[in-house]
Amino acid sequence: MSILSNHESNMHQILREFPSPKVPRDDKGRVVSRICPKCDVGILQYEGDRIWRCNGLADRENTEQELIACDYTFEHGTNHPRSMSSEKIKVLFLDVDGVLNGCYTRERAPGGCTGVEPAKCAIIRRIVAETGCKIVLSSTWRRFSKNLPYLWKSLGLDELDNSLGQSPILDGRLESGLYTSPQRGHEIQAWLDKHPEVSRFVIVDDDSDMAHLKPHLVQTDGRTGITDEIANKIIEGLNV
Ligand SMILES: [Mg+2]
């Protein structure tokens, strides 16, 4: 056996013993799809204590009227050697429109809405490379699961390795029938409440409805999206 194949063999051994905590695996250590096996539309999000839960608010036809309620939960494989809650991680809450695109963008996502700019995606890759952060989607793109494969492909990042899911959608409805929508900051806080392992986080968004989390916001100009200067601020915020 060559040195290289010995090395590869050792790496495989290590990977078997220490499967990534960011990827849902069954009790045999096999990677499980993040697409919910029950509703086949929602995306499994890590809740801590080895529990993954379907986000339950997937949109089957890109119409907000057809949100699917699903409460499927999945327990991470029992061969997992450590609790994710003991691992300190950095998170970038990522908005898409007004961050990865601007008013000049001609790219189109599969659903026909405005797509993302390759140059802006490259800036996100630089942030990930320089900080080791994980991405949590806080954009309205959470509602359009059909567009997410396009988004991750455009970002040039493997979703399973680089994402910890999405902030929850906390729309409500009053007795009068009126729909309510909380500030985005409250949805981000709801995600943070379930992830005590997060040590630092930055929110990048062109909107400012972050409630008490505004000090964590690095705001873009929605007409131009993220720039290198803004990326430097984010990196600084994550690497303090
Ligand atoms: Mg936006």
- Give the residue ranges of the chain where pLDDT is below 70: 1-24, 26-33, 40-41, 48-50, 56-71, 75-87
Q: Give distance in angstroms: CA of 238 to centre of ligand 1.
A: 21
One domain, residues 71 and 94: no
Q: Give distance in angstroms: CA of 220 to centre of ligand 1.
A: 9
Q: Which domain holds residue 50?
A: 3-75
One domain, residues 62 and 115: no
Neighbours of ion ligand 1 (CB under 5 A): 95, 97-98, 206
Quick one: pLDDT at residue 1?
39
83: in domain: no
Quick one: pLDDT at residue 69?
64
pTM (predicted TM-score): 0.66
One domain, residues 205 and 106: yes
Q: Give distance in angstroms: CA of 195 to centre of ligand 1.
A: 24
81: in domain: no
44: in domain: yes
Q: Give distance in angstroms: CA of 146 to centre of ligand 1.
A: 18
Point out the domain boundary residue: 44, 75, 106.
75
Q: Give distance in angstroms: CA of 98 to centre of ligand 1.
A: 5
Give the 3-state secondary structure of the chain: CCHHHHHHHHHHHHHHHCCCCCCCECCCCCECCCECCCCCCCEEEEEECCEEEECCCEECCCCHHHEECCCCEEECCCCCCCCHHHCCEEEEEECCCCCCCCCCCCCECCCCCECCCHHHHHHHHHHHHHHCCEEEECCHHHHCHHHHHHHHHHHCCCHHHHEEEECCCCCEECCCCCEECCCHHHHHHHHHHCCCCEEEEEEEECCCCCHHHHHHEEECECCCECCHHHHHHHHHHHHC
Q: Give distance in angstroms: CA of 227 to centre of ligand 1.
A: 15
Point out the domain boundary residue: 22, 47, 75.
75
One domain, residues 170 and 232: yes
Our count of domains for the chain comes to: 2
